[in-house]
Amino acid sequence: MKTLKELPVGQSAKVLKVHGEGAIRRRIMDMGITKGAEVYVQKMAPFGDPIELIVRGYSLTLRRADADRIEII
């Protein structure tokens, strides 16, 4: 299983599944990260946390712990 946390800067991928339960999963999905969405890693902080993404045409900053819940292909 490859997750969004492992995707290098400058690469894009499609979301396969959002893992987790309850409020955390719902919050991630409310930000537009749903099955089939294209995500592009724009920047990464010096120590890797947080990650700046482009999703559905807007910038989104996500913690690595949350990015680890997003399975990609």
Q: Indicate which CATH number applies to the domain containing 30.
A: 2.30.30.90
Give the chain's domain count. 1
Q: Which residues contact 66 (CB under 8 A, 6 or more apart)?
A: 24, 28
Cis peptide before 50 (omega within 30 of 0): yes
Give residue 54's domain range: 2-72
Tell me the C-alpha distance between 67 and 23, whole Å: 15
Q: What is the pLDDT of residue 68?
A: 94
| The two three-digit tokens of residue 48, written as one number | 């890797």
Residue positions counted in the chain: 73
Q: Residue 60 has which token pair?
A: 């989104």
Give the distance, in angstroms, between the CA of residue 42 and the centroid of all CA atoms in the same chain.
11
Kindly give the confidence (pLDDT) of every residue in the chain, 73 residues in length, as a single tens digit, with 9 standing for 90 and above. Answer: 899 999 999 999 999 999 999 999 999 999 999 999 999 999 999 988 999 999 999 999 999 999 999 999 9
0.95 exceeded by pTM: no
pLDDT at 35: 95
